[in-house]
Structure 1
């Protein structure tokens, strides 16, 4: 077996797809220290710059009350009072019950495998996150993939396939993590209503950034109450850790009974949940930071010639697609030498032939720090 693994790793390396772990020695806002050098971090999802601002000092009381570990799953003795506080606050904001999961990956696994079975169907955008794909596989449901963002193709699939299945879920991200684009959400709401489908929206990369209170693209587009189930994370713009699901009370209760990634895992420690609540409260009030990071995104896209006009230019994920894997690696290393951390993104994370740098922006960045980036990218393109 070891010889077989060694051979496969060698083949991965020959294709320019070998992955390594770089050690972050220290973090200060948008800057990270690696190998004794400070680099601007263009690979974080810390869109509002909150992840280094929530201190252990403000969470110390919760640590003294509950200790470091939760000690058990929530259905046993891990359901500490901070869960109720956080889920209650989400209810106030979203107007529907919430359920906390250990991570975004666990939430996506639990929702799809918990809500669907062999009699059901899932209609998913072809570029949804790996965790949603794994959730579809675990569910046992029949799943259909429609071309990225092609709602006509989705409707055609629903027209032909919907009647064969008990439940039908439409699954999409709001902001796609590798492309920085988003679907026509109001149109998706109309489609799901026409075909009696249940719309699941992964807002992991939209919460904090979009919406008046930072509740995501659904809030931004006025469809917050029409989307059947919203998934969000605390580990990105909210600067903490964990994830949440917002939906009807029947859905929440059903997931408590059926979502294996909720049932069979140790609860998050109280200090982590307290951090998530602190991040959520900061993000709700962070209107100026939202405006700032969206302005940075517009400026960078314009400087790179990637602007399209409208809301799409304000997504703080700016993909620079170079195509070939080794070329993306070389470009990443050149930027590293120039003081920018922007790891190459290669298949299977993205489709074949679309290796890229994914430039991720944060409100903690200074526009002047980004001024050297477009010339560098043009020189090496």
Structure 2
């Protein structure tokens, strides 16, 4: 027995999943060729599970900005900003981000995960209340645990249940902070934010929206679900990431509230983590410019999401969420999900195998996320491969079209 013995069941489960073919949690590409293709085992693979929504990971201007910043400022900061100081790129990125989001203040974290850790653990502490959607991301739950606030879960996307739980808490002291997500990462559904904002106003609570998967995707300017629903004034805090639409890594917290900078002295994930390297700050700065200047990327993303969704529905798959950049197929069992993922990879299409407990209700999913960089022909290729796999596994009753 060792300190690692408690993970034996997890190791056994991982081994069983990997025994069905390739290890779905350890895919190592030979090379990434573009925002939409990679080499795996010497074969070209279509990337349909990257969250690279606007396809900016290979944007020439973003790459040039990162290269120049590395040459001029080095490869890293080697420490946190409170210890090693703030580079000009950090401050410039925060100003640019605040201006884009139409907020007075913004602070940048080294990952999106840490942005939620820092925001939730600091804004709601002992004696306060966090009201979390039941399908919240792991980083939201971890941030809640770090801050010692009382956590109350409400049913997924259910404003009435949120209202009921806030009424129960109305006589208790402490701040009440509601947390929702713009687009939920597993199923691609959106929060009913207008209704939730109404509940927030009624209860005198605060509202934080994690726009990780909706930044650059929703809203006329790409600011996310709050912009699309016309409730930005009701959202007190915006959390997001640079690792989706902006093609890099990092996260942020933004707000209009007075005293915001006190969070820099109290958010431990911000205070005690090395800050973003100059290259990342520079590439994200440029990516925000691209995101603003090229709304056609969002148009292409919407078309691609719609095309994938419609193609799979026509093939006979049942999809629960509205057309969005995230499309997930519910699988009848873990074994079927693993087999589907392996067969699809053999067909040349990379997707995400999502297993419980990380999925809603613990149900196995085959998760896909489209990119604006995908061509119509690539989406057709993906739909054909998914359809053939569905038929091979007996999941579809709609006959295959004659070739």
TM-score, normalised to structure 2, is: 0.89
User: Which residue of the partner structure matches residue 118 of structure 1?
Assistant: 126
- More moved, 277-286 vs 50-59: 50-59
Q: Is the 8 A contact 1:78 1:266 kept in 2?
A: no
Q: Sort the Cα spacing of 1:244 and 1:7 in 2 relative to 1 into closer, same or farther, 3 A.
A: closer
Determine the C-alpha separation between the residues in 2 that align with 1:73 and 1:171: 27
Q: In the alignment, does 2:381 pair up with 1:376?
A: no
Q: Sort the Cα spacing of 1:119 and 1:111 in 2 relative to 1 into closer, same or farther, 3 A.
A: same
Determine the C-alpha separation between the residues in 2 that align with 1:58 and 1:140: 40
Q: Is the 8 A contact 1:43 1:342 kept in 2?
A: yes
1:6, distance to aligned residue in structure 2 (A) = 6.4
Is there any run of 5+ residues in structure 2 with no aligned partner, and where? 396-403
Q: Sort the Cα spacing of 1:138 and 1:282 in 2 relative to 1 into closer, same or farther, 3 A.
A: same
Q: Is the 8 A contact 2:211 2:239 kept in 1?
A: yes
Q: 1:183 is matched with which residue: 163, 185, 191? A: 191
Q: In the alignment, does 2:47 pair up with 1:41?
A: yes
Q: Is the 8 A contact 1:47 1:209 kept in 2?
A: yes
Q: In the alignment, does 2:107 pair up with 1:103?
A: no
Q: In the alignment, does 2:334 pair up with 1:292?
A: no
User: Which residue of the partner structure matches residue 29 of structure 1?
Assistant: 35
SS state at 1:272 partner: helix
SS state at 2:231 partner: coil
Alignment of 1:359-370 (within 5 A): 359-370=368-379
User: Which residue of the partner structure matches residue 57 of structure 1?
Assistant: 64
What's the Cα RMSD here? 2.1
SS state at 2:122 partner: helix
User: Which residue of the partner structure matches residue 7 of structure 1?
Assistant: 8
Determine the C-alpha separation between the residues in 2 that align with 1:32 and 1:22: 11
Determine the C-alpha separation between the residues in 1 that align with 2:287 and 2:233: 23
- More moved, 34-43 vs 368-377: 368-377
Q: Sort the Cα spacing of 1:150 and 1:90 in 2 relative to 1 into closer, same or farther, 3 A.
A: same
1:15, distance to aligned residue in structure 2 (A) = 6.5
Q: Is the 8 A contact 1:115 1:258 kept in 2?
A: no
Is there any run of 5+ residues in structure 1 with no aligned partner, and where? none
User: Which residue of the partner structure matches residue 246 of structure 1?
Assistant: 254
Q: Is the 8 A contact 1:68 1:269 kept in 2?
A: yes
Determine the C-alpha separation between the residues in 1 that align with 2:219 and 2:176: 28
Determine the C-alpha separation between the residues in 1 that align with 2:275 and 2:137: 24
Q: Sort the Cα spacing of 1:10 and 1:57 in 2 relative to 1 into closer, same or farther, 3 A.
A: closer
1:19, distance to aligned residue in structure 2 (A) = 5.7
- More moved, 364-373 vs 110-119: 364-373
SS state at 1:43 partner: coil
Determine the C-alpha separation between the residues in 2 that align with 1:65 and 1:256: 27
SS state at 2:239 partner: strand
Determine the C-alpha separation between the residues in 2 that align with 1:277 and 1:353: 38
Determine the C-alpha separation between the residues in 2 that align with 1:58 and 1:116: 37
> Deviations 1:134-170 (Å, cap 9, x if unpaired)?
0011111110111111111111000111331310000
User: Which residue of the partner structure matches residue 400 of structure 2?
Assistant: none
1:373, distance to aligned residue in structure 2 (A) = 3.4
SS state at 1:262 partner: helix
Q: 2:142 is matched with which residue: 134, 137, 156? A: 134
Determine the C-alpha separation between the residues in 2 that align with 1:140 and 1:354: 29
User: Which residue of the partner structure matches residue 80 of structure 1?
Assistant: 87
1:71, distance to aligned residue in structure 2 (A) = 2.6
Q: Sort the Cα spacing of 1:20 and 1:90 in 2 relative to 1 into closer, same or farther, 3 A.
A: closer
Where does structure 1 differ by over 6 angstroms across 4 or more consecutive aligned residues? 306-309
Alignment of 1:254-273 (within 5 A): 254-273=262-281
Q: In the alignment, does 2:354 pair up with 1:325?
A: no
1:56, distance to aligned residue in structure 2 (A) = 4.0
